[in-house]
Amino acid sequence: MTAETLRKDGFGVDKMFHCFVAEDTDLKKLVGYALFFYNYSTWEGANVYLEDLYVTPDYRHGGLGTRMWREVAKVAVERGCNRLDWVCLDWNKTSIDYYKSKGSTNLSETEGWNLFRLEGDKLKEFSKD
């Protein structure tokens, strides 16, 4: 990943994602971001996928991450999306408990969904006829 790729994909003609950023205006320093994109379910229609929510360590536990997460949720509601999806590593119990406390459902527990990935050379190989 390069800065140029991020600029092109997020801010070019064909945007691949959207992003909220948090800045410490006194220091003129980026301290967090929420990167998301739209996807579509044949069962439920339009959705938002939160790809990454990050707050630098010195700025955590002050509500910044929650505010950015809420802004993504607002976009989803305003755009008529039916759900907001994301993944969380199973060892991150603090975040899992927090997400659940806000009404989120862990689909691994409730529906048994498995997340798969096809990448790199295996993706290229599979894409061939």
Query: Can you give the pLDDT of all 129 residues of the chain as single tens digits?
Result: 899 999 999 988 999 999 999 999 999 999 999 999 999 999 999 999 999 999 999 999 999 999 999 999 999 999 999 999 999 999 999 999 999 999 999 999 999 888 888 999 999 999 998
Which one from 38, 54, 98, 99 is the annotated catalytic residue? 99
Cβ atoms of 69 and 50 within 8 Å: the answer is: yes
What does the domain layout of the chain look like in residue ranges? 3-127
CATH classification (class only), 3-127: alpha beta
Q: What pLDDT, on the 0 to 100 scale, is given for residue 24?
A: 96
Taking CA atoms, 3 is separated from 9, 22, 23, 37, 102, in Å, by 10, 18, 18, 18, 34
Separation of alpha carbons 129 and 125, rounded Å: 9
Residue 32: strand, helix, or coil = strand
DSSP secondary structure of 55-105: E-GGGTTSSHHHHHHHHHHHHHHHTT-S-EE----TT-HHHHHHHHHTT--
Residues with Cβ < 8 Å from 17, sequence gap 6 or more? 9, 10, 35, 36, 37, 51
* Count of all residues that appear for the chain in the document: 129
Mark whether 99 is an active-site residue. yes
